[in-house]
Structure 1
Amino acid sequence: MDNESIVYGCIKHLPFGDRQQRQASCFHNRRAIRTLPESDQWPFLSQDMFAISGDQASGGSYQTQVIHFGMSYRAVEYEWEHWIAKFERLLKQMYWVGAVVHLETDFAGFHTFMWDSADDYHEPSDEPLRVRCEWSREGTMV
């Protein structure tokens, strides 16, 4: 069997301002996801791996707009810098308060990458993003 990698996570946006501003920022995020290609070149980051919870009119479920995603890859960890670069390009185009990506690999363990906005929330910009990484390896040594 090939080396499978599972990538999944979510982008969280807590809409701000009056009702119109909240809707505008949520719709903006929906448009950003729709600008992704339907099929992408390796390592894939495409529209079909994303889903947005909640009502179209309100832009989110209760208070937070949750955009979740996931995909199975063949050994994406070897191209991880490229995948992260694509994901951060998307984040830079969106409104959000935090994002998390989980990478589960057969051989390199489990990695969690977290982005936090420098302010109360991130607005679309080309500013550098802050990311933290946590790594864990489960199982026993042979």
Structure 2
Amino acid sequence: MDNESIVYGCIKHLPFGNLQERKTSCFQNRKAIRQLPQADEWPFLCREMFCVPGDDLMGGTFQTQVIHFGMSYRAVEYEWEHWIAKFESLLKNMYWVNAVVHLETELSGFHTFVWDSADAYHAPSDAPLRVRCEWAREGAIS
């Protein structure tokens, strides 16, 4: 059986400004997701893995826009640098305050990657992103 990797997480955006500015930033995030390739291409990162809530309470957004995602891969950890590069490229085109990615692998354990905006929030730009990684492995040490 092939090694399976599970990738999941969320991108959080707390819209700031007046009503029009909040709508514009949430629309930009939806647009960035829609511009991802479909899953029929090599899906390092594809639009089908994302779920974007509506703009109001009944649509899933009280104050914070929470965009969640998840996908099952065949040993994506061997191409993880490519996955991270594509994810960061997506983040650079979005508004957000925090993003978290969990990577579960059969061989390498569990990894959590966290991006925090350097300011109150990240606006679309090519500015470098800050990421930190936490690693955990289950099982006894032999």
Which TM class, normalised by the smaller chain length? Answer: over 0.9
What displacement does 1:38 show? 1.2
Deviations 1:82-141 (A, max 9, x none): 000000000000000000000000010000000000000000000110000000001224
Query: What's the counterpart of residue 65 of structure 2?
Result: 65
For 1:129, give the aligned amino acid.
Answer: L
For 1:79, give the aligned amino acid.
Answer: E
Q: Which runs of 5+ in 2 are unaligned?
A: none
RMSD of aligned alpha carbons? 1.8
Give SS of 1:77's match.
Answer: helix
Give me the whole-angstrom Cα distance separating, in 2, the residues matched to 1:75 and 1:42. 13
Q: Is 1:126 paired with 2:126?
A: yes
Question: TM-score, structure 2 length as denominator?
Answer: 0.93
Q: Which runs of 5+ in 1 are unaligned?
A: none
Q: What is the 5 A alignment of 1:1-80?
A: 1-39=1-39, 41-42=41-42, 44-55=44-55, 61-80=61-80
Q: Is 1:89 paired with 2:99?
A: no
Give me the whole-angstrom Cα distance separating, in 1, the residues matched to 2:98 and 2:40. 25
Figure out how many residues of one structure are paired with residues of the other and give that number.
142
Deviations 1:45-83 (A, max 9, x none): 100000012347998610000000000000000000000
